[in-house]
Structure 1
Amino acid sequence: MKIMANRLDRGFETYQEEFENKALEVLRSGWYVLGNEVRSFEEEFAQYLDAKYCVGLASGLDALWIAFRVLGIGKGDEVIVQGNTYIASVMGITINGATPVFVEPDEYNNIDASKIEEKITEKTKAILVVHLYGQASKMDEVVRIAQKYNLRLVEDCAQSHGACFNGKMTGTFGDIGCFSFYPSKNLGAFGDAGAIVTNNSKIAEDVRIFRNYGSEKRYHNKVVGANSRLDEMQAGLLRVRLKHIQEITEEREKICNRYLDRLRNTLFELPKVRENATTVWHQFVIHCSRRDELMEYLKENDIGTIIHYPIPPHLSEAYQYLGLEEGVLPITEKFAKEVLSLPLYTGMTKKEQDYVIEKLNEFGK
């Protein structure tokens, strides 16, 4: 039996007729940019999150860098962010000329809120929280710190569509919530797509203008903006998937609960879920000190896995200019050497799950 780390075809096949009908509807409409599908998705996604405004964009990275741009954060400013995130989180900061200040993760793989205050300086202007692997961060403490120091709060929700802390959706705690709808996400499009969510009407309007060449109306450009528009096809297909997001989340939860219940090998550590937080299980990530050996063993048994992420941003070639050498973030660097994402996707059969569980329990025996 061959098990892939992720399969997008199963997610398509589950709702194939709805996706195909929507695609034809969009094609036949004759309107392909900033039309009814985008407006409707923005309204429906905002309603789902219990937020006031959603603005569709071309990608999750665009959501991040445009968020900091419209907040006026740039050269000379510092933004606090966890060290073990995907590099796009950091790019959202540095594209604007600001400097990332890294904080170590906690045992839940998210930012260690107890270590944020010690990183705050006169240059600190914002905190970027990343709800990694689908689990909500400790937002009560993060919000308290942001308010205490009058800092902007941006949330990277690329992996946390629908995750909550104390019953409140991720993406609605701060000034801006940034979402990616890359095809592998729980709420995935069929290409690049993203959005910004906010409860601030001015921020929403600024983003709408900025995404469309800085134009409030055609040929009247208020600012030097970008071309970052969620297109009609992706918005329409996202509307289909959004209708089923609850059942998609519940299916992933069932798969991950089977992993939690049946994986008993003490050579690796299973993920923990924080009190008062929920996870939508974008990834099921274990920690193993023999990670590379385990990965090779699973490969030999036709089980695919992924490392999220093998190189911390501060050690990447792209950020050598920050002058941060190996050893400066020991927990982040340790995680990068031991995390491994197990197979997890819509339509994963019990037979496939059982095979993965069996082989993992046999590792090292």
Structure 2
Amino acid sequence: MTQPVKPDSLSSQQDNSKLKYLQLAQRLTDQIKNGELRVNDQLPSVNQLSADLRISKSTVLMGLNHLSEKGIIEAVYRKGYFVRKSRIDHDYRVFFLMDKLTVFKEELYQAFYNKLKDRADIDVFFHNHNYRIFERLVLENLHNYTHFVIISILKEDVSEIINQIPPEKRIILDYNQEGLTGNYSAVYQDFAGDLYAALRDVKERIGKYKRLVMVLPDNVFYGHLVKEGFQQFCQEFDQPSALINRISEEHFAPGDVYITLNRYDIDDVNIIKLCRQYGYTLGKDIGLISYNDLYMKEVLEGGITVISTDFVRMGEEAAQLILEQRTAKIKNPSKLIIRASL
């Protein structure tokens, strides 16, 4: 059932469309607070609100969108606007879209949540690298949130979808998505630059091996960027090198130092197995540099050398952008932890 909104005009207020849309939003919020509008009540149509309150349809839409972003009301396709909350506790409502839940993404989200938990409602979604799921989740929620925090790791180009979100509401994490327009925020990894810098820092250690081998599976989303940093280092320092997509006995030889990127660390396990099989010592006969630090890598085989971005820092930076209401593009710091495997 459609519920009425007090019809007295807003025209007596200061003639400013921004103020009028906020007046409308406040009027609706007050009616929700005092019980005149209840959860699941339908609001009058845009045309009716425009006529009753003597304001333009665009101003009505601005006011309704303002409340939708905060989750107070919700736009239902072809039906109208409905009241969804009776309490208004937080300043922000955040749409947080991740690829999938991993140890690292959980650290990222927890850091983000800890900084915003008293100021924002946060809804978490997962696209699982599926273009259709990504598209549906974003487009169905365009008017329902104050901010959109997105990890856009997919094979397909999703820039056209993301560009439908107003730039000032966008915060892109982890991968600095190409093709985006407007003044948006990003906290991203510099995959090529980080690997090059890490290899340069351990150039002397790499020098005790005969060959530097990158193990780059076909399904690594950011593989072309990591490959770029690898090739830059090898060319600049005349480093003998090879590029393979998986670890096997035919590609395994003493004097090799391997860089692994497999998200499930299968290549790390296979290297350790082959070392044991042939009696090689990791860190002496065979070198290993692994992407992303896990607790087990600190103790496995005396310690695995890792290159890892600071996911906690990434989450905190994204939250801070919201709290400070500013726009920025921030390169997230990467760390190289040298252990016994190199």
Q: Provide TM-score, normalisation by structure 1.
A: 0.29
Question: TM-score with structure 2 length normalisation?
Answer: 0.31
- Higher strand share goes to which structure? 2
Of structures 1 and 2, the larger Rg is shown by 2
